[in-house]
Amino acid sequence: MARVVVLGAGVAGHTAASYLRTWLDTSHEVVVVSPISHYNWIPSNIWVGVGLMTEKQVTFPLAPVYQRAGIRFEQGRAVEIHPEGNTDSGTPFVVVEKRRTGQEPERIPIEYDYLINATGPRLNFAATEGLGPEKFTVSVCTADHASKAAQRFLELVERMKQGEHCRFVIGTGHGQCTCQGAAFEYVVNLEFELGHHGVRDKAEVIFLTNEYELGDFGMGGAFIRRNGYITPTNIFTASVMAERNILAVTRAHVRKVEEGKLTYETLDGEEHELTFDMAMLLPPFAGVGLQAFDRAGQDITSRMFAPNAFMKVDADYTQKPYEQWKAADWPHTYQSPVYPNVFAAGIAFAPPHPISRPHISTKGTPIFATAPRTGQPSATIGRVVARSIADKITGKQGPLHAASMAELGAACVASSGASLLKGTAASMTVYPIVPDYERYPKYGRDLKYTTGEIGLAGHWIKLMLHYMFLYKAQMRPGWRLIPE
């Protein structure tokens, strides 16, 4: 019997566990460890954040799903990996911290034959003073955060109906944030809802981002085929902002947030202040802080993890100038180079380099979008890693399965107004996600498969995907027919 332990129950981890349970017979055990009791379809948090959906509409409890599927679920936080076991036993194990109300945390070891680290990100609000739901800004990173953001938004709507004018600042809260697409979705949905509530004329909406140009999205921007023309995504995105009278501030690093005010630095080294009535600023991501120890108990965290606490995999982490990086340097199998029975999936793996060109301010502050690894790529990587492990357990010969982001395409449907009759969404595809200038010298991508459109049909697709992927995540009949 083999035991596979999956750390994390987000898109990557949940996908991996679901497929492992399908591909392995019941003589093998699949264990999921997560500190969170529920699954959250994160792309729909933006609708929760403006009051169009509730927290219950974007989440479901994990335990009943896993019990029905035959997956063991341990609610707790993984804190240590012992890939060589210890002096008493050579069996690898992870240490899981389980919290009890009013009691000291209980630390339990869980042995494994194969381990998938899909812990996702630590939301590093502390990187910017005053950032986060516990301080002076709101967030849509979790369903709970989004619910609180909606409460604040609707409070301000009521004040505007009484004649007040309000300023909304939406975007990124640090110079090295990722997930600019989520901030873009939120700002255009918020603007749409202001109009729906009849208070758009009472609101100033500002998009504040660390991107060098709008439409960078952490992937260096793209050129898309649209209506027979080739359009850069910065033009596409800027036109969306202009049509909605949203002021954009780019190349910005938020240094400090206070009540109703933030200070940001731009690439020219200048500092600016901006007041607000509501700010939704995304935090930078870091690894969750897993520690690793060898058999003798010596700390080997730096061997398994990069300085940002994301796990090293089969990528080229050699320090090089940005111009010397290649698409081939990105990981393929997501296997640890140190321990072949350990893999990382989704946000948990360390990217070898930024996709967007790095920029440093005149004061030495890095201000550029960092590489995204969310959504469709995370799910695909989770499935591929699960396939490699299942093949090894069942004795199938052959190389590990691969899913390099330099060889994967991705589709994204970004809501820009939720309404069955008047809503819109931007529908984009890119191939490959990481540009490959050796294969596609001019644009870095194949323009046959890199496209973008905006319209009402996109909103219908976005809404359909919401229900379809929640259905898939609950492993309902036929779930495998729904692609990642």
- pLDDT classification of 58: cutoffs 50, 70, 90: very high
Residue 366, in any domain of the structure: yes
pLDDT of residue 99: 83
The arithmetic mean of pLDDT across residues 16-31, rounded, is: 98
Phi, psi of 440 (to 5 degrees): -130, 80
Residue 370, in any domain of the structure: yes
Q: Cα dihedral angle (87, 89, 90, 94), rounded to 10 degrees?
A: -90
The arithmetic mean of pLDDT across residues 71-75, rounded, is: 98
Residue 255, in any domain of the structure: no
Residue 26, in any domain of the structure: yes
Residue 52 belongs to domain with CATH number? 3.50.50.100
Question: Residue 225: pLDDT above 90?
Answer: no
pLDDT of residue 417: 87
Whose tokens are 């108990």? That residue is 297
| Number of compact structural domains in the chain | 1
Mean pLDDT of the chain: 96
- pLDDT classification of 408: cutoffs 50, 70, 90: very high
Q: Which of 324, 292, 294, 327 is nearest to 311 (CA)?
A: 292
Residue 78, in any domain of the structure: yes
Cis peptide preceding 432, ω within 30 of 0? yes
- pLDDT classification of 307: cutoffs 50, 70, 90: very high
Which tens digits make up the pLDDT trace of 320-344?
A: 999 999 999 999 999 999 999 999 9
Residue 11, in any domain of the structure: yes
- pLDDT classification of 393: cutoffs 50, 70, 90: very high
Strands of 223-226's sheet in order across: 229-232, 223-226, 451-455, 425-430, 410-415
Residue 305, in any domain of the structure: yes
Is the sign of the CA dihedral 285, 290, 291, 293 positive or negative?
negative
**Structural domain of residue 26, as residue ranges?**
3-122+286-393
Q: Is the pTM of this model over 0.85?
A: yes
By CB neighbour count within 10 A (0-12 exposed, 13-18 middle, 19+ buried), where does 411 fall?
middle
Which tens digits make up the pLDDT trace of 112-138?
A: 999 999 999 999 999 999 999 999 999
pLDDT of residue 331: 98
Residue 407's region, left for phi above 0, alpha for psi from -120 to 50, else beta, is alpha
Question: Residue 414: pLDDT above 90?
Answer: no
Residue 89, in any domain of the structure: yes
The arithmetic mean of pLDDT across residues 77-85, rounded, is: 98
Question: Residue 100: pLDDT above 80?
Answer: no
- Which residues are registered as beta bridge partners of 373? none
